[in-house]
C-alpha cells in the first residue's frame, strides 16, 4: 500500500513539473505554438510526408502578427524571434547578454568538437575569436587565393581532358572533391588531388564526419545531442568516429612540428593559426601583467586549439560550400539568362586581366556577389540559429498586447533563418530567384535582421568571406570553360530531402558540363 502511495506521489510530482514547464510562457503573456502541433509537424517530417522547409514556415506562420512566440523543445522553453528589429537588438545591440550557442558537449568528451570556435563559450570564445579573426582579413585571403585558384584550375582541367563534349555529373559529388582539395590545401597545407585519387584519406574522413546527418537513427542521435547534451555524454555517444578526431589531431601536431623544425612557411590556415598562437602568447603575458581576472588570464592558442579550429573550418566548409555551389548551378540552369550574364562578366574580367586572374579580379565581380547572395537567401545553409541568454535580459513591450518578457540566464531563443528569407513581407515573391534584390541600391532596402545566412552580430560566421572567395573563384573558372546544362536525369523543380538537418537534394544534382570552344 505504501509503495502504491509513493508511486502516486511521484506521478503527481512529474505531472505538476510538466505542467509547470509547459506553462512557462503563460506568466509573460507570450503566445505559444502548442507542443502537440510541433510534434505532429515533426512526425510528418520523419515519415517523409513533409519537408523541413515547409515545417519551418508552418511554425513561423502559426502565430501571425507577433514579434515573437514561444515553443517548447521537449521540456525546454524557447522563444522564436520574428521581428527584425528585435533580432538586431538582441544579437547586436545587446549581444553581451546572448553570446553563446546551446551546444554543451564538453571538451573532455569530444575534444575536437568541444574546442571549436562554434562551441566554446563566454570569455574563452571572445579571446579565441580575437586571436583568429586576423586570419580572415583581405590581406590574409589574398595569401590563400593562389591555393584556391590552383584547385579551381585542376577541377576544370580534369573535365577539359575528357573526350566527351557534354559530361554528365552529379554536382554534389564532384563539388565535394573540389572543396576537399581546397580545404586540405588552405587548412592543412597538403596538396590532395581528389580526382586522381578519389579514395584519399580526407574524403574518407569527411564521409565519417557527415555520417551523423544521414539515416533516421543518426537523426535521433543528433536531436539528443542538441536537446540533452548531458544525456548524450552519459550514453557515451560520440559526435564523430574516434578515428576522425585522432586523424586531424595527429595531422596538425605533425604539421606544426615539421614546420617549426624546418622553418617551413606556407600561405595557409595552419601558418596563420601558428602566427596567431605566437601573438596569443604575447597577449597572455601582457594580460597576466595587467589583470587578475582568472577568466582572461592563461587563455592562449595551443596546438590542440589549432587542430580544433582547422578541423572545424574543414567541417564547416566541406559540405556547406559544395551545397551552395550546387544550388547556384541549379538556379543557373533554371534561369539561363543569369548564367549568360555571369559568363559575360567572367569573359570581360578575363580579357581585362589578360588571363592573370587575381584576388582583386574576383573581388570586383559584382553580379557574382548578387547571384551568390540570392542563392543563400533562397537556399540558406541553416534552417535556424540559436542563442543562449548569458546575462538576464528583459524584452520590453512595444505593442499593446505585450508585457515585459524576462529572459533568465540559460534561456534560449531561435532565429528562424529560412522562414525569414521566405517571408514575402521582407522578400516579395520569395520563391522567385531574383539577384536584383542585391543590387547596391536594393540592398539598402533590405531590412536589417531579415537576411541571416551567416548569422547576426559578433557571433556570425567568421569564414563567410573565405567561402565567397572560394565559390566565386571556382565558378569563374567553371563558367569560362563550360556551360551548365540539364540532362534527362535532371530534376526540375528540385525535390528536397525531407529529414536532412540542412538543405540538400533528395535525388542528387544531376546536370552536365558542356564544353565551350575557346
What gap in Å lies between CA 174 and CA 195, rounded to an integer? 8
| Cα–Cα distance, 94 to 155 (Å, whole number) | 45
| Integer angstrom CA distances of residue 83 from 390, 447, 480 | 21, 11, 42
Determine whether the annotation assigns residue 504 to a binding site.
Answer: no
Strand ranges (DSSP E) for 349-481? 385-388, 393-395, 405-407, 412-415
Phi-psi sector, 397: left (phi>0), alpha (psi -120 to 50), beta: beta
Cα–Cα–Cα angle for 487, 489, 494, nearest 5°?
100
Burial class of residue 91 in the structure, from the number of CB atoms within 10 Å of its CB (0-12 exposed, 13-18 middle, 19+ buried) = buried
CA 248 – CA 94 distance, rounded (Å): 36
3-state DSSP assignment of residue 491: coil
CA–CA separation, 24 vs 416, rounded Å?
A: 21
Please, is 56 exposed, middle or buried when counting C-beta atoms within 10 Å of its C-beta (0-12, 13-18, 19+)? Answer: buried
SS3 361: helix
Can you tell me the distance from the alpha carbon of 294 to that of 277, in angstroms, rounded to the nearest whole number? 20
Q: What angle do CA 121, 89, 26 make, to 5 degrees?
A: 85
Three-state DSSP class for residue 71: strand
Q: How far apart are CA 421 and CA 403, in angstroms?
A: 28
- Using CA atoms, how far apart are residues 100 and 410, in angstroms rounded to an integer? 10
Which positions make up the binding site for heme?
461
Please report, in range form, the residues annotated as the binding site: 461
Amino acid at each position: 500500500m505504501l509503495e502504491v502511495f509513493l508511486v502516486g506521489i511521484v506521478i503527481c510530482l512529474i505531472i505538476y513539473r510538466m505542467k509547470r514547464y509547459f506553462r512557462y510562457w503563460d506568466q509573460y503573456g507570450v503566445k505559444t505554438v502548442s507542443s502537440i502541433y510541433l510534434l505532429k509537424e515533426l512526425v510528418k517530417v520523419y515519415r517523409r510526408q513533409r519537408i523541413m522547409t515547409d515545417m519551418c514556415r508552418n511554425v513561423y506562420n502559426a502565430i501571425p502578427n507577433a514579434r515573437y512566440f514561444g515553443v517548447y523543445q521537449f521540456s525546454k522553453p524557447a522563444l522564436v524571434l520574428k521581428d527584425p528589429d528585435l533580432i538586431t537588438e538582441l544579437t547586436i545591440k545587446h549581444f553581451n547578454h546572448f553570446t553563446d550557442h546551446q551546444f554543451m558537449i564538453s571538451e573532455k568528451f569530444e575534444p575536437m568538437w568541444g574546442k571549436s570556435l562554434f562551441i566554446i563559450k563566454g570569455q574563452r570564445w571572445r579571446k579565441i575569436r580575437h586571436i583568429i579573426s586576423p586570419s580572415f582579413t583581405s590581406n590574409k585571403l589574398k595569401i590563400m587565393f593562389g591555393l584556391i585558384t590552383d584547385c579551381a584550375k585542376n577541377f576544370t582541367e580534369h573535365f577539359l581532358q575528357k573526350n566527351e563534349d557534354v559530361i554528365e555529373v552529379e554536382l554534389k559529388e564532384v563539388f565535394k572533391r573540389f572543396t576537399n582539395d581546397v580545404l586540405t590545401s588552405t587548412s592543412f597545407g597538403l596538396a590532395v588531388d581528389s580526382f586522381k585519387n578519389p579514395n584519399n584519406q580526407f574524403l574518407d574522413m569527411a564521409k565519417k564526419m557527415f555520417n551523423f546527418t544521414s539515416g533516421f537513427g543518426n537523426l535521433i542521435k543528433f536531436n539528443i545531442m542538441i536537446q540533452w547534451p548531458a544525456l548524450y555524454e552519459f550514453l557515451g555517444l560520440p559526435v564523430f568516429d574516434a578515428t576522425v578526431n585522432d586523424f586531424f589531431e595527429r595531422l596538425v601536431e605533425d604539421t606544426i612540428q615539421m614546420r617549426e623544425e624546418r622553418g617551413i612557411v606556407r600561405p595557409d590556415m595552419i601558418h596563420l593559426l601558428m602566427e596567431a598562437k605566437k601573438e596569443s602568447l604575447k597577449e597572455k603575458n601582457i594580460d597576466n601583467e595587467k589583470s587578475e581576472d582568472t577568466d582572461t588570464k592563461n587563455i592562449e592558442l595551443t596546438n590542440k586549439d589549432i587542430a580544433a579550429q582547422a578541423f572545424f573550418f574543414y567541417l564547416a566548409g566541406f559540405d556547406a560550400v559544395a551545397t551552395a555551389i550546387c544550388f547556384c548551378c541549379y538556379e543557373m540552369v533554371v534561369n539561363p539568362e543569369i548564367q549568360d550574364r555571369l559568363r559575360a562578366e567572367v569573359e570581360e574580367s578575363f580579357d581585362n586581366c589578360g588571363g592573370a586572374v587575381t584576388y582583386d579580379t574576383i573581388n570586383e565581380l559584382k553580379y557574382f556577389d548578387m547571384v551568390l547572395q540570392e542563392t543563400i537567401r533562397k537556399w540558406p545553409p541553416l534552417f535556424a540559429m540559436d542563442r543562449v541568454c548569458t546575462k538576464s535580459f528583459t524584452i520590453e513591450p512595444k505593442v499593446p498586447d505585450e508585457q515585459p518578457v524576462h529572459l533568465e540566464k540559460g534561456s534560449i531563443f531561435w532565429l528562424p533563418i529560412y522562414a525569414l528569407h521566405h517571408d514575402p513581407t521582407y522578400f516579395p515573391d520569395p520563391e522567385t530567384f531574383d539577384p536584383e534584390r542585391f543590387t547596391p541600391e536594393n540592398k539598402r532596402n533590405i531590412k536589417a535582421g531579415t537576411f541571416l545566412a551567416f548569422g547576426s552580430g559578433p557571433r556570425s560566421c567568421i569564414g563567410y568571406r573565405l567561402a565567397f572567395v572560394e565559390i566565386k573563384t571556382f565558378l569563374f573558372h567553371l563558367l569560362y570553360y563550360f556551360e551548365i546544362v540539364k540532362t534527362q536525369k535532371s530534376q526540375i523543380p528540385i525535390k528536397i530531402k525531407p529529414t536532412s538537418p540542412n538543405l540538400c537534394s533528395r535525388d542528387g544534382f544531376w546536370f552536365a558540363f558542356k564544353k565551350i570552344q575557346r
